[in-house]
Structure 1
Amino acid sequence: MSERGIKPSNQPALADFKVSVDTVIFSVDTQQNRVLVLLIMRRDDPFSGQWSLPGTLVRQGESLEDAAHRVLVEKIRVNNLYLEQLYTFGGPHRDPRESPKSFGVRYLSVSYFALVRFEEAQFIAEGVSGIAWYPVKQIPSLAFDHGKIIEYGYQRLRNKLEYSPVAFDVLPDVFTLSDLYQLYTTVLGENFSDYSNFRTRLLKLGFLADTGLKASRGAGRPASLYRFDAEAFAPLKDKPLVFL
């Protein structure tokens, strides 16, 4: 038995960590009924020429959230977005730069989850060989463990839509119930609720304010335009399955 305060010599050395921030940026193309994720083609090793999530190593004096915002503003230009920390991926050997020659350096990925409006998003392609939206059901082979990060992020997106107002962060200020329903069915599937039940439940919950305005689209009856009322939603915050 070793003396108190003396580390046994057979214990592994403490790891030396580098921290990256990788951001899963989702968007919803309701016209083509697709959930999309933003991918970039890496220009540098490791995995040069392969698709990956937008990411960066955290700089000296930079917070994780600042690094995540830096990734966003360097790759995409939007007016409305939702951003939150997702999960930390830190298994050994997840990064090929972890080798005996790196003197035990480990690479952690603190992932973030973002949702942006598809219609307004503009790409910024500086520093990458390519940038594109990919449907989550048609993801190509990715660098690192980014496929796993996307799977985790997509499940978070589905969960967030069920109990939080995240959708209203990326909808226009005013919208029709049909616009909202289309977003939900694109992400959750058409079987999550029929339109009539969805409409009845939402209006009963009382956090959608009727603007008194109408939207005319095609030859159909003009649809009412609503606005999200954050104050009215506050009592429902964090209650599960609000919309189902």
Structure 2
Amino acid sequence: MPARNHKKNPNPINQQPLADFKVGVDNVIFSVDTAQNRLLVLLVMRQQEPFLNSWSLPGTLVRQGESLEDAAYRIMAEKIKVNNLYLEQLYTFGGPNRDPREKTDSYGVRYLSVSYFALVRFEEAELIADKVAGIAWYPVKQIPQLAFDHHEIITYGHRRLKNKLEYSPVAFEVLPDTFTLNDLYQLYTTVLGENFSDYSNFRARLLKLGFLSDTGIKISRGAGRPASLYKFDAEAFAPFKDKPLVFI
């Protein structure tokens, strides 16, 4: 059998020069609008190239002496005012050619995006319009064409958010200190969909687990029966930490 002629790669990866990077932070800021049962994501209109006048995630390049988390909080503070939020590092997106500037930069700089995802309540979130021509909440199911790979980042963040809600107390980071069980249920149905659990089973399961404390206070909303206000007990939740399917 004749020997196969294997063509050698003229530029194997271990002979390529080391890459130079610029690091950016992009925030996937989710908002839960329980009144209309919508999960929203915050988008801004880009004011410069590349992708001038295109919708994108709020982002920035990291400054000298600035940590990644500080950059993420800086972007949050420039775009939104909110008292209760949850923020977590999501993933690093750094594939070649994810940013058009890589092709025009004479120094061959690569652009990394360290993404964060945040969760806030729609009722509490106040958008900051100063110096921002375009900023808006978009339903996750109706996202327009986005700059860069930001649609992929949102998809990744949405999947992480769903997973977090199943096993972690992330919901209590954005709820007020006291809340009704219906407030909690509405947050879950908005993110996970109404089919994840019916209210009766959800209520019975959480009360049985014992990390919700009844404050003894009841509130009236509309014509229905007064509802009890609860508080989240972090110490009582400790045995369930990181165990799957706690909430569903």
What runs of 5+ residues in structure 2 fail to find an aligned partner? 1-11
**Closer, same or farther in 2 for the Cα pair 1:145/1:9, shift >3 Å?**
closer
**Closer, same or farther in 2 for the Cα pair 1:76/1:10, shift >3 Å?**
closer
Q: Does 1:77 align with 2:81?
A: yes
Q: Distance in 2 between matches of 1:240 and 1:196?
A: 21
The one-letter amino acid of 2:59's match is G
Q: Does 1:56 align with 2:60?
A: yes
**Closer, same or farther in 2 for the Cα pair 1:167/1:10, shift >3 Å?**
closer
Q: Does 1:67 align with 2:71?
A: yes
The one-letter amino acid of 2:218's match is K
Answer whether contact 1:42 1:52 (CA < 8 A) is retained: yes
**Closer, same or farther in 2 for the Cα pair 1:118/1:10, shift >3 Å?**
closer
Match of 1:148 among 152, 157, 179: 152
Could you tell me how far 1:102 is from its partner in structure 2?
2.8
The 3-state SS of whatever aligns with 1:115 is strand
Q: Spell out, residue by residue over 1:196-240, the C-alpha distance to the aligned partner (whole angstroms, 9 max, x if none).
A: 110110001101000000011122111111011111111111011
**CA RMSD, Structure 1 to Structure 2 (Å):** 1.4
Paired position in structure 2 for 1:5: none
What runs of 5+ residues in structure 1 fail to find an aligned partner? 1-7
Paired position in structure 2 for 1:174: 178
Q: Distance in 2 between matches of 1:9 and 1:174?
A: 56
Q: Does 1:194 align with 2:194?
A: no
**Closer, same or farther in 2 for the Cα pair 1:205/1:12, shift >3 Å?**
same
Please say which of residues 230-239 and 18-27 is displaced more in the overlay: 230-239
TM-score normalised to structure 2 length: 0.93
Please say which of residues 216-225 and 12-21 is displaced more in the overlay: 216-225
Answer whether contact 1:21 1:67 (CA < 8 A) is retained: yes
- Provide the aligned length of Structure 1 versus Structure 2: 237
The one-letter amino acid of 1:135's match is P
Identity of aligned residues (%): 81
Answer whether contact 1:49 1:129 (CA < 8 A) is retained: no
TM-score normalised to structure 1 length: 0.94
Q: Distance in 2 between matches of 1:152 and 1:114?
A: 13
Match of 1:161 among 154, 159, 165: 165
Q: Spell out, residue by residue over 1:162-214, the C-alpha distance to the aligned partner (whole angstroms, 9 max, x if none).
A: 00000011111111111111111111111111111101100011010000000
Paired position in structure 2 for 1:4: none
Paired position in structure 1 for 2:232: 228
Q: Distance in 2 between matches of 1:178 and 1:83?
A: 24
The one-letter amino acid of 2:237's match is F
